[in-house]
Amino acid sequence: MKEVTIQVFDTTLRDGEQVPGCKLNTQQKLVIAEQLEIMGVDIIEAGFPISSPGDYKSVQEIGKLITRSTVCGLSRAVESDITAAAEALRTAKHPRIHTGLGTSESHIKYKFKSTQEKILDRAVAAVKFAKKYVEDIEFYAEDAGRTDNEYLARICEAVIKAGATVLNIPDTTGYCLPDEYGDKIRFLKENVKGIEKAVLSTHCHNDLGMATANTISGVRNGATQVECTINGIGERAGNTSLEEVVMVLKQHDNLGFDTNIKTELLYPMSQLVSEKMGVVVQPNKAIVGSNAFAHSSGIHQDGVIKRRDTYEIINPADVGVDHSRIVLTARSGRAALAFRARQIGFELTKDELDLMYQKFLLLADIKKEVEENDLLKLLSNKIKISAA
Ligand code: KIV
Ligand code: ZN
């Protein structure tokens, strides 16, 4: 089966960075942008140039630095925003302006106090205005997840005619169910005249924990660009996590999709973003969490030691993690103890293991985790434990 290469659009430096506490300065953004390009990200959303002089400068500097990836700047459907984005991107090798506005009933009625017709006209005017500056224009229909499909199709058709090259269909509030979001993408694919001239893009938020599922559903129904952030950071519960989407497509290669991402750089990238933003990655985060390849219960440890893929569907090396970890806790079994002992040079006989295991359990009941130095002392008989 011929694979479709899905374009990866990273918005860590825009949607991710707008989260309180995650703000980055230009230097930090440059370091991350450079690594995103090396990792194979196709489009880097570098910031929102009108929002502050600092962000304008960041977009400008990233545009100068990056040579292969497209560099994108966000704007509202407002001329001054679009002009600022265009100016900031003037020296970028592959510039893209991302412009748009809310299209759901709630946005039109309460945010804009407007009508569907007026919003459609504003969308078209914004795209035409942006088109004077750059060829590559992405239009976002904010809150598309809650926008009526017929109206969304009309807007998409109109902005394609005006010159939009990419249509971003954000589930801004993370409300959609995977089938619902996939159906929306399919509806646009089947009902928008001229859709073959544009790329359909997913942009999902994680309010109900479904951002990755919705994104995959979008791809399976015709989207060929995915918008994501490293570690899934972003407004409220976050955006779609880049590492999750990329690895879903890689692990399920029977679906017929691939990406340009060098997956072995995912873990170092996650660490870099975490360190620069000062936000820890939750231990149980899929793909990049510290426990993603750690095994602590006896049953699982025994299986993994016998054959890794009994409990691991991803080879840790594929995402840049050195190796899986067999963690010693009070739930660990003899196989794990023997394995860890062997790793530090102790080959135990069956009787030695039985004896050591009893001592180990007493220690493990006291400590959350038996670390390597504890194990070393235990094995060297330096720790005397007795049942109280
Ligand atoms: O979530 C959203 O709708 C957005 C748009 C500004 C693209 O981030
Ligand atoms: Zn968003």
Q: pLDDT tens, position by position, for the chain (388 residues)?
A: 679 999 999 999 999 999 988 999 999 999 999 999 999 999 999 999 999 999 999 999 999 999 999 999 999 999 999 999 999 999 999 999 999 999 999 999 999 999 999 999 999 999 999 999 999 999 999 999 999 999 999 999 999 999 999 999 999 999 999 999 999 999 999 999 999 999 999 999 999 999 999 999 999 999 999 999 999 999 999 999 999 999 999 999 999 999 999 999 999 999 999 999 999 999 999 999 999 999 999 999 999 999 999 999 999 999 999 999 999 999 999 999 999 999 999 999 999 999 999 999 999 999 999 999 999 999 997 665 554 4
> Does 337 share its domain with 250?
no
> Does 207 share its domain with 311?
no
Place of tokens 């007026």: 118
Q: Among the bound ligands, name the one nearest to the CA of residue 45.
A: 1
* Domain-ending residue, one of 216, 248, 277: 277
Which residue's alpha carbon is at the smallest distance from atom 2 of ligand 1? Answer: 172
DSSP-derived pairing of the beta strands 225-228 and 7-10: parallel
In the three-class reduction of DSSP (H, G, I as helix; E, B as strand; rest coil), residue 30 is classed as: helix
> Does 32 share its domain with 96?
yes
> Does 199 share its domain with 346?
no
- Ligand 1 geometric centre to CA of 142 (Å): 6
Among 298, 300, 290, residue whose Cα is nearest residue 270: 290
- Ligand 2 geometric centre to CA of 170 (Å): 7
- Domain CATH number, residue 52: 3.20.20.70
- Ligand 1 geometric centre to CA of 262 (Å): 26
Q: Among the bound ligands, name the one nearest to the CA of residue 143.
A: 1
Could you give the maximum distance between any two Cα atoms of the chain, in Å? Answer: 81
Ligand 1 atom nearest to CA at 144 = 3
Tokens matching residue 213: 């599922």
- Angstrom CA distances, 70 to 141, 197, 294, stand at 21, 18, 37
> Does 183 share its domain with 225?
yes
**Domain membership flag for residue 235:** yes
Number of domains the chain contains: 2
Place of tokens 């692990």: 251
Q: Which domain holds residue 122?
A: 4-277
Place of tokens 């399920």: 252
> Does 108 share its domain with 234?
yes
**Domain membership flag for residue 385:** no
Among 105, 45, 107, residue whose Cα is nearest residue 77: 107
> Does 252 share its domain with 332?
no
Which residue's alpha carbon is at the smallest distance from atom 5 of ligand 1? Answer: 142
The burial of 45, by beta-carbon neighbours within 10 Å (0-12 exposed, 13-18 middle, 19 or more buried), is given as buried
Q: Which helix (H) or strand (E) holds 32?
A: helix 26-39
Cβ within 8 Å of residue 239, ≥6 positions away: 11, 15, 16, 203, 204, 205, 206, 211, 227, 228, 229, 232, 233
Mutate to test the pocket of ligand 1, among 137, 171, 172 (most ligand atoms within 8 A of CB): 172
Cβ within 8 Å of residue 88, ≥6 positions away: 49, 56, 59, 60, 63, 73
Q: How big is the CA angle at 274 (ends 268 and 276), to the nearest 5 degrees?
A: 100
Which residue's alpha carbon is at the smallest distance from atom 8 of ligand 1? Answer: 15
> Does 300 share its domain with 267?
no
In the three-class reduction of DSSP (H, G, I as helix; E, B as strand; rest coil), residue 10 is classed as: strand
> Does 272 share its domain with 300?
no
Q: For every residue of 151-216, which 3-state class applies, written as one string?
A: HHHHHHHHHHHHCCCEEEEEECCCCCCHHHHHHHHHHHHHHCCCHHHCEEEEEEECCCCCHHHHHH
- Ligand 1 geometric centre to CA of 47 (Å): 12
Is the pTM of the predicted complex or chain greater than 0.85?
yes
CB 335 within 8 A of CB 301: yes
**Strand ranges in the chain using DSSP code E only, listed in sequence order:** 4-5, 7-10, 43-47, 70-76, 95-102, 137-142, 166-171, 199-204, 225-228, 257-258, 294-295, 325-326
**Domain membership flag for residue 284:** no
Which residue's alpha carbon is at the smallest distance from atom 7 of ligand 1? Answer: 140
Residues contacting ligand 1 via CB (< 6 Å): 15, 140, 142, 168, 170, 172, 203, 205
Tokens matching residue 26: 């230009």
Mutate to test the pocket of ligand 1, among 9, 203, 226 (most ligand atoms within 8 A of CB): 203
Determine the residue type at 128.
Answer: K
**Domain membership flag for residue 289:** no
- Ligand 2 geometric centre to CA of 127 (Å): 19
Q: Which helix (H) or strand (E) holds 81?
A: helix 79-88
- Ligand 1 geometric centre to CA of 273 (Å): 21
Ligand 1 atom nearest to CA at 142 = 3
